[in-house]
Structure 1
Amino acid sequence: MTDLQQLVRQARADGIEALLGGVVVRDGSGRVLTVRRKADDYFGGLWEIPGGSLEPDEDPLVGAARELAEETGLTGLDLVYLHAADFTGRAGVRARQFAFTAAVPDGTPVALTEHDAHRWAPLDDLPAVSAHHAEFLARLGGPGPVGRRGRSELD
């Protein structure tokens, strides 16, 4: 089992300034939920997985579930740790995003609040995403996620 707090401590030791959580949601057909940033947003028009910044001292699992709920309305999902990836954000801030996976049935409704579109895409027909999100999605073709499972405090 992956110790998420150890991963957070390692990120801080690595000089990471910002921590984020995200969720790769797959439906019963194996398609991945992607959401598109509004045109007037930072990286406007870019497709991504749901996610965002963790609150100070927030557990990555809890933060990822919170961001998923805020951005898509999806709650009560079992999240499984997938991978962490680094990137450089606004103004050169070094960031690390912790990604989790979750599954929903086909036809699950999505209620967007921060994005202007969503798409359920098969792995072989995904829209262009940032390099660190592409890294998460590439992991889906491997042996499968391992690590901490759990429900968030939002359940």
Structure 2
Amino acid sequence: MSEHLVIGAAIINDGRLLLAKRISSSYAPARWEIPGDEMAPDEDEQATLRRVFAVEFSMFLGFRAERILNDRWMSTWRVENGESVPANIRLLRCGIDNGTTINMEAGEPRPNRLVYDESRWVPLDELHDVYPWCNQHDILADELANLYNYNREMYFPS
């Protein structure tokens, strides 16, 4: 059985994390998650995240994957055919390149409703108010908030 690697984009701006809510007809209906997807065999981590934002948000963001923040093995990850398989979720800190503008107050980036129907910038100290979460994304978000609050200069330099 091949390993499934899922890449998530931890995009933090002004102390807020970008989250996306899955559409009602998905395998995890109306659940919040950190945007990302399974890495295709012909992709690297950056290509996976660029594809996610191009397809799911219709945005060609200028951003870069800067650091692995979390690597979490999951015994069950649901793939497209509904089968549950083991997977590794890799959460990457992503910075937005200069020249790319996102109007957070206007709700950007807006999902195109293929997989996500809502996006939200949530303050890191309010992640516990988000519900319901998809899979283990609540654990990832909590660990990310703790990392941000306690090691800000090391992991999230200005």
C-alpha distance in 1, partners of 2:126/2:2? Answer: 32
Higher strand share: 2
Structure 2 equivalent of residue 141 of structure 1: 146
Q: Is the 8 A contact 2:21 2:33 kept in 1?
A: yes
Instruction: In structure 1, give the amino acid aligned to 2:62.
Output: G
Corresponding residue number in structure 1 for 2:4: 18
Are positions 1:84 and 2:55 aligned together? no
AA of the residue aligned to 1:89: W
Identity %: 26
Larger RCO, structures 1/2 (Cα 8 Å, 6+ apart) = 1
CA-CA distance at 1:141 after TM superposition = 2.4
User: For structure 1, which segment, 114-123 or 72-81, has the greater mean C-alpha deviation from structure 2 after superposition?
Assistant: 72-81
Q: Helix, strand or coil: the match of 1:20?
A: strand
User: Are residue 110 (structure 1) and residue 115 (structure 2) matched?
Assistant: no
Are 2:126 and 1:125 equivalent residues in the alignment?
Answer: yes
Q: Name structure 2 gaps, 5 residues minimum.
A: none
Deviation at 1:92, TM superposition (A): 2.6
Amino acid at match of 1:132: Q
- 8 Å contact 1:36–1:115 — kept in the other structure? yes
Q: CA RMSD in A?
A: 2.4
